Structures are given as C-alpha cells and as structure tokens.
Amino acid sequence: MDLHDPAGWGMFFTFTKERGSCGTPYRCLLPKGIEGMLVAGRCMSVTHEALASTRVTATGMACGQAAGTAAALAVATRTSPRQIDVEMLQDHLVQDKAWLRDAWMRDTPLWAAFEADRQRRQEAIRQGGAVGAHTIILR
C-alpha cells in the first residue's frame, strides 16, 4: 500500500496481510449533488486510504470503463447515470471482459496466467528478491 502524507511531503509504503482485490462501489463514480456526471480515477469519492489503490492507472482505467459504459446505458435508457440499473451495468461490463472482482475469469487460461504470475511474485518476495512489473495482453 502506498499512502502519501496529506499534511505534506513523505509517504508510507507497506505490504498488507490481506489478499485479493476489493471492489469499487458504483456510487463512488457519482458526485453528490450533481446530476448527469460521472467521475473516475483520482476524482472519485474515496477515503485517503482507499485513494492509495484507486489512484493507480489500472484502477483508473477500470473505473473509466465503468463510467463510460454507465454513460452509454444512461443515454440508451433515457435516464441519469444515478438511476441506471447497476446489475445491467455489471452485465455489460462482464460481456466486455471487464474485471469485476474476478467473477468472469476464474476458470479461464488468463486467470491461470495471473495466478502463476502472482505465485512467482510471492516467491520472489519471500526470497528477498525484486519484483518487476508485468503486462498481459487481452485479445
């Protein structure tokens, strides 16, 4: 976890004991008091601690995809983003292969690749080695 000090310079970096991912509620993309607007990335409504995760590029891209899909659904259903059916939004995102709490991937070759990479990284950390970045291209 990468927490920056809100009072000024400095940051706190640590590994957490928790494993896996956590979801970002759709309501975080809906600014209070403003109809017809969606936000994503660093503009989302989250706590300081949650911002350590939501501010990174991959999360911003995932939330941007959700916001874009929600906007398209709002236009298609002639309603505001705040009123769209969240289950319908999730269904569209899963059809587009969005990562929703690992729901659609568990039994796929891509999941096996992610799992193998995760195990490789954990072993490297246990042995005191460095862990590099990785990229997996979806086709």
Amino acid at 69: T
Q: Are residues 86 and 42 in the same domain?
A: yes
pTM confidence score: 0.63
Q: Are residues 92 and 61 in the same domain?
A: yes
Residue pair 134/117 in contact by the 8 Å Cβ criterion: yes
How many other C-beta atoms can be found within 10 angstroms of the C-beta atom of residue 63? 21
Q: Are residues 66 and 123 in the same domain?
A: no
Residue 80 lies in domain: 2-100
**Which tens digits make up the pLDDT trace of 83-133?**
999 989 988 888 887 877 655 556 667 667 777 877 777 777 677 655 444
Q: Are residues 31 and 70 in the same domain?
A: yes
How many other C-beta atoms can be found within 10 angstroms of the C-beta atom of residue 44? 23
Q: Are residues 49 and 12 in the same domain?
A: yes
Q: Are residues 86 and 115 in the same domain?
A: no
Q: Are residues 54 and 122 in the same domain?
A: no
For tokens 């607007």, the residue is 37
